[in-house]
C-alpha cells in the first residue's frame, strides 16, 4: 500500500534553522549562531542581509544590530570580511568516506579515520546519494555524540542507475526509487519513458545532477512490468543490487562449445575413483551438484573418505570470457524463487555437476581416517569419479535413521565420523550457532502460500563436517609447505576475534536476562557456547543468539594467513564450491600450482580479487535478504487480520522492530505512532522508556501486535501494539 502524495515529487532540500521568533534579541546568542552557521558553511561567504534572512534574525534594526557582531567576530580573527560578505576563517579538515543515508533527514559518512562516522544533514550532502564516495568537511563543534560535517565533493558515484516505480503527471513523470536509502525522486521527461505505464517498475539512468536541493533528471532504460507483480518485483530487486539478468551471447557461446566428453589422455593423468562407492547429498531442488563423498573400508580397520569437488577450472581457463564473467560475478546469488548463477547452465548444471551414473572430473581431498576420526593419511589432487547415487537430504536422513536402503551402511559410518569431528571442533572452541531459517512455498505465479522453517538434520551436518574438514586441511597443507620460510600466497577464509567492546556490551545485555558471560577469559567462544546451551528453548534464545552473531566480526577472503574464530581453525579456506564461488576456483588453481612444484605467486593480484569477492558476497547476501523481505511483506499483506504474538528484535530512535512468532516476518512500530506517551530511546540498554508513564520496552520482550500497513515498494510492514 503506497502512501498518498501531496506533491508530485520529494525534494532533498530543507529549510534553514530559525532563531529569534518572539524572543528578545540577545547579541551573545546571535554571535554564536552566526559563527556556527559560517563554520558549517566554511567554503561559502554571506552578506549581512543573507545572514539575517537565513538565520531569521528578527529585530527592528536587524542590520544595525548584526553589523557590530560581525565586526567583533572579525576583530577576534574568527571570520574574514570580503568585499560585501563574510566567511569563516576556520581551517577546514576534510576526509573521505562512503554515504550511508539512513533516513530522509540525515546521513552518516562512514570513514576509516579517527572521526568514525560523521553526521551530515541531508541538505548538506551536495546531492550525494547512498553508497557514493565523498569528501566531507568535518565541523569543529559537536552537537551530539558524533562529529558533524558537510559534503564538499562527490568523488565517485556508486551508481547512476536506479530501480523504482514510475508515476505520471500531465507534463512529466517521476520515479520513486525502491531503495529505502534513496530519499529523492528522479524526474523523467515524457519523451524518455520508453513504453512504461503508470506505476510500472522501471530501471532508470540519471543523466543530470542539478543544483542544490533540486531533483535529478533521468531516462527509463528498461521496463520491468506492473508494480506488485512477482516477476517485476524480483527483477527490480536484481536491478537494485546490480545483479545480471542474463549471460552475454559471447559467454554462452563459449560455454556451449566446451566438450562434455572426458578425454582419455586427461583421465590417465588423474587418480581414478570410479570403482569406489560415491554419492552426492543435496537439497531436493538442487541442479548443480558440486561435491560428492566416496567411502571405502581398509584392511587396517581405517576408512578412506574422499571429498570430491567439481573440477571447474579444468573447463574455465584464465583469459577467457568465462573467466572474466566468473571474476565479475564472483558468486551465485540465491533469491527466493531463482538462482542467478556465477557460470552458465551448460557448465554449472551440465559439465561440472556431479550427476549420478556419469563420469566426472573432480579435484579431491582424500583422507584415511581412524575409527576415532583421526587423520592417518591425506592426499590432494585431480581425480575422475562416478557417482552411484544422488541423495536428497531427506533420503539420506531416512537411511541414517532406519539403517535401511541404498548405502545405508556407508551413510551411518560417515555420520558417526561426522559427529566425532563436530565434537572435536566444539572442544577447540567452535561456536555452535543454530539459528532458525525459513523458506517460502510459492504458487506458480510466485504468491507465497506458506512460510516453512528449515530443519537441520544429521544429513546436513554430515555433509557440512566433511566439507569443513577438506577446507581446513587444504588451507593447512598450503600454509605448511614452506614452514619457517616465506609463506606461499594463498586465498584464506578468515574470521577475526570479536571486538572486546561489542562482546562487553553483549555480556551486559545477557546479564539482564540472568546469564553471566566470562568475557575476561581467553576462551570467549567457550563462554558463548555455554550461553547458547543455557538459553536453548527459552524465550530469549533467538534474541540473544541474534545479538551474539551481530557482535561477531564478518568473515572475509584474504591472502593473510589468519585463523577462523567461529570455526576455531588455525587456517581455513573455501575449496568445496567452485561452481558457485570464485574464491574456490582461485584455491583450486593455487593448490594445483603448488602441488606441481610452482613458486609463490603475486600476492597483490590475489588480494585484490579477495576484496572484490568479499564485496560481491556481501551484495549477494543483501539481495537475498531483500527477496525474502519482499515475500514476507506480500505474505503478511494477504495474511489473516488478527493479533499476532511477537518478540522485539530491534530498537532505534525512530521505531521498534518486532518479529511475528507465527510467520517469522519482521515489521516495525513507528515511535511517532505511539500516542500514549513520548518515548525516549536508551541506546546503551537496548530499550525505550515512556517519559510520563515510565513504561519500558526492551529487546527480547514478548508483545502482541497487529499489521496496520504493508508497502511492497519499500518492502516494509507497519505494526501497532494491541492492548498497549
A 10 A CB-CB count for 183 gives 20
**What pLDDT score does 433 carry?**
78
**What pLDDT score does 44 carry?**
81
A 10 A CB-CB count for 634 gives 21
Give all domains of the chain, ordered by start, each with its CATH number. Answer: 93-156 (2.40.50.140), 161-227 (2.40.50.700), 249-494+562-618 (no CATH), 500-552 (no CATH), 639-721 (2.40.50.140)
Strand partners, 681: 688
Alpha carbons 470 and 476: distance in angstroms, whole number = 10
Of 231-235, 348-352, 686-690, the one with minimum mean pLDDT is: 686-690
Q: Rounded to an integer, what is the distance from CA 160 to the centroid of its chain?
A: 21
For 356-378, what is each residue's pLDDT tens digit?
Answer: 999 999 999 999 999 999 999 99
Instruction: Indicate whether 83 pLDDT > 70.
Output: yes
- For the segment 20-33, the average pLDDT, to the nearest whole number, is 69
**What pLDDT score does 421 carry?**
97
Those residues whose C-beta lies under 8 Å from the C-beta of residue 427, and which sit 6 or more positions away, are none
Instruction: Indicate whether 261 pLDDT > 60.
Output: yes
DSSP-derived letter for residue 684 is G
**What pLDDT score does 148 carry?**
86
Alpha carbons 538 and 360: distance in angstroms, whole number = 48
For 590-619, what is each residue's pLDDT tens digit?
Answer: 999 999 999 999 999 999 999 999 999 999
| Radius of gyration in angstroms for the set of CA atoms belonging to the chain, rounded to a whole number | 30
- Model confidence at 22, pLDDT cuts 50, 70, 90, reads very low
- Model confidence at 11, pLDDT cuts 50, 70, 90, reads very low
- Model confidence at 61, pLDDT cuts 50, 70, 90, reads low
CB-CB contact of 112 with 201 (8 Å): no
Alpha carbons 377 and 255: distance in angstroms, whole number = 37
Instruction: Indicate whether 693 pLDDT > 90.
Output: no
Of 430, 720, 686, residue with least CA distance to 540 = 686
Amino acid at each position: 500500500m503506497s502512501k498518498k502524495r501531496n506533491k508530485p515529487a520529494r525534494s532533498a532540500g530543507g529549510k534553514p534553522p530559525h532563531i529569534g521568533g518572539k524572543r528578545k534579541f540577545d547579541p551573545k546568542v546571535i554571535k554564536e549562531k552566526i559563527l556556527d552557521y559560517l563554520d558549517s558553511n566554511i567554503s561559502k561567504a554571506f552578506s549581512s542581509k543573507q545572514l539575517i534572512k537565513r538565520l531569521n534574525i528578527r529585530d527592528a534594526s536587524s542590520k544595525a544590530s548584526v553589523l557590530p557582531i560581525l565586526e567583533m567576530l572579525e576583530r577576534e580573527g574568527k571570520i574574514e570580511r570580503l568585499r560585501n560578505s563574510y566567511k569563516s576563517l576556520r581551517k577546514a579538515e576534510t576526509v573521505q568516506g562512503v554515504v550511508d543515508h539512513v533516513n530522509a533527514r540525515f546521513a552518516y559518512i562512514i570513514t576509516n579515520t579517527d572521526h568514525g562516522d560523521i553526521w551530515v544533514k541531508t541538505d548538506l550532502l551536495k546531492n550525494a546519494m547512498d553508497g557514493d564516495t565523498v569528501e566531507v568537511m568535518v565541523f569543529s563543534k559537536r552537537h551530539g555524540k558524533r562529529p558533524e560535517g558537510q559534503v564538499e565533493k562527490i568523488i565517485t558515484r556508486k551508481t547512476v542507475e536506479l530501480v523504482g516505480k514510475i508515476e505520471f503527471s500531465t507534463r512529466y513523470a517521476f520515479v520513486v526509487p525502491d531503495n529505502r536509502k534513496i530519499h529523492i525522486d528522479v524526474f523523467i521527461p515524457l519523451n524518455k519513458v520508453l513504453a512504461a505505464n503508470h506505476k510500472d517498475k522501471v530501471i532508470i539512468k540519471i543523466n543530470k545532477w542539478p543544483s542544490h536541493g533540486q531533483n535529478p533528471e533521468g531516462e527509463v532504460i528498461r521496463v520491468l512490468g506492473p508494480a506488485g507483480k512477482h516477476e517485476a518485483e524480483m527483477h527490480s530487486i536484481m536491478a537494485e543490487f546490480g545483479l545480471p539478468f542474463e549471460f552475454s551471447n559471447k559467454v554462452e557461446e563459449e560455454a556451449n562449445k566446451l566438450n562434455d566428453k572426458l578425454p582419455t589422455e586427461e583421465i590417465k593423468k588423474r587418480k581414478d575413483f570410479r570403482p569406489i562407492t560415491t554419492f552426492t547429498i543435496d537439497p531436493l531442488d538442487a541442479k548443480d551438484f558440486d561435491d560428492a563423498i566416496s567411502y571405502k573400508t581398509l584392511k587396517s580397520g581405517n576408512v578412506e573418505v574422499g571429498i570430491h569437488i567439481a573440477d571447474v577450472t579444468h573447463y574455465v581457463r584464465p583469459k577467457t570470457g568465462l573467466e572474466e564473467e566468473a571474476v565479475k560475478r564472483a558468486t551465485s546469488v540465491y533469491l527466493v524463487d531463482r538462482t542467478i548463477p556465477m557460470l552458465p547452465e551448460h557448465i554449472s548444471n551440465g559439465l561440472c555437476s556431479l550427476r549420478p551414473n556419469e563420469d566426472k572430473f573432480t579435484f579431491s581431498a582424500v583422507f584415511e581416517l581412524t575409527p576415532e576420526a583421526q587423520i592417518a593419511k591425506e592426499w590432494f589432487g585431480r581425480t575422475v569419479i562416478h557417482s552411484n547415487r544422488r541423495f536428497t537430504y531427506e533420503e539420506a536422513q531416512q537411511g541414517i535413521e532406519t539403517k535401511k536402503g541404498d548405502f545405508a551402511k556407508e551413510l551411518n559410518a560417515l555420520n558417526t565420523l561426522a559427529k566425532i569431528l563436530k565434537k572435536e571442533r566444539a572442544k577447540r572452541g567452535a561456536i555452535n550457532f543454530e539459528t532458525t531459517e525459513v523458506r517460502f512455498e510459492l504458487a506458480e505465479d510466485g504468491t507465497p502460500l506458506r512460510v516453512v522453517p528449515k530443519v537441520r538434520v544429521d544429513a546436513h551436518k554430515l555433509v557440512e563436517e566433511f566439507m569443513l574438514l577438506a577446507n581446513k586441511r587444504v588451507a593447512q597443507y598450503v600454509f605448511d609447505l614452506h614452514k619457517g620460510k616465506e609463506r606461499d600466497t594463498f586465498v584464506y577464509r578468515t574470521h577475526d576475534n570479536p571486538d572486546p567492546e561489542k562482546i562487553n556490551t553483549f555480556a551486559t545485555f545477557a546479564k539482564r536476562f540472568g546469564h553471566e558471560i566470562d568475557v575476561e577469559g581467553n576462551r570467549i567462544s567457550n563462554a558463548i557456547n555455554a550461553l547458547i546451551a543455557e538459553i536453548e528453548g527459552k524465550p530469549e534464545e533467538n534474541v540473544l543468539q541474534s545479538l551474539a552473531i551481530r557482535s561477531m566480526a564478518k568473515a572475509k577472503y584474504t591472502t593473510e594467513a589468519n585463523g577462523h574464530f567461529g570455526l576455531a581453525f588455525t587456517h581455513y579456506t573455501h575449496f568445496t564450491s567452485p561452481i558457485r564461488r570464485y574464491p574456490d576456483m582461485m584455491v583450486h588453481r593455487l593448490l594445483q600450482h603448488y602441488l606441481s612444484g610452482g613458486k609463490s605467486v603475486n600476492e597483490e593480484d590475489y588480494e585484490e580479487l579477495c576484496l572484490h569477492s568479499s564485496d560481491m558476497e556481501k551484495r549477494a547476501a543483501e539481495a537475498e535478504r531483500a527477496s525474502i523481505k519482499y515475500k514476507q511483506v506480500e505474505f503478511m499483506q494477504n495474511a489473516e487480520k488478527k493479533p499476532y504474538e511477537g518478540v522485539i528484535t530491534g530498537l532505534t530512535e525512530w521505531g521498534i522492530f518486532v518479529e511475528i512468532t507465527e510467520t517469522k516476518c519482521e515489521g516495525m512500530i513507528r515511535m511517532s505512532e505511539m500516542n500514549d506517551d513520548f518515548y525516549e530511546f536508551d541506546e546503551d540498554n537496548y530499550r525505550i522508556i515512556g517519559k510520563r508513564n515510565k513504561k519500558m520496552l526492551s529487546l527480547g520482550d514478548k508483545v502482541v501486535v497487529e499489521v496496520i500497513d504493508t508497502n511492497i515498494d519499500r518492502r516494509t510492514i507497519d505494526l501497532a501494539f494491541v492492548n498497549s
